[in-house]
Amino acid sequence: MTQNTCLSPRLIVPDPDRASAFYQRALGAEQVFCAPAGDDGRPSMIDHRVGGSSFQLSPAVSAWGWLSPDDLGGSAVLLEIEVDDPDATGERMVAHGAEVVIPIENRPYGKRSGRIRDPFGHLWIITGELR
């Protein structure tokens, strides 16, 4: 493996434009690229940056095997984001339509964390330093 290897998750969602707006408002994500819309009017990929990390959004396309958490009956992946203020991040996500799965609290393993389900079914561990 080379030194400049990078792993970037691609989240499959029903509506990439709506999801992009959510992540920009709730996580402070910056949209850095949006691929042209396909025949169905949805962009095929939207690239975002949050701090030094990146992630992409793409529409659910069952013919390609690109299924959203709703198509699967739940999320098969946990996304973990470490932030300076997990409480504020969790509150922002909830204010924009996410739901608390596990409250953000000080944990015995030395972090303050909890789990949030975003409006598109993806599960996020929001974590940071103890307070």
Average pLDDT of the residues in 100-128: 98
Q: Mean per-residue pLDDT for 32-61?
A: 94
C-alpha 49 chain-centroid distance: 11
- What's the residue count for the chain? 131
Give the architecture-level CATH label for domain 10-128: Roll (3.10)
Average pLDDT over residues 102-113: 97
Q: Is the pLDDT of residue 38 over 90?
A: no
Q: Where are the domains of the chain?
A: 10-128
pLDDT at 2 > cutoff 70: no
The confidence score (pLDDT) of residue 1 equals 52
Give me the pLDDT at residue 130, please: 94
Q: In the prediction, which pLDDT does 7 show?
A: 86
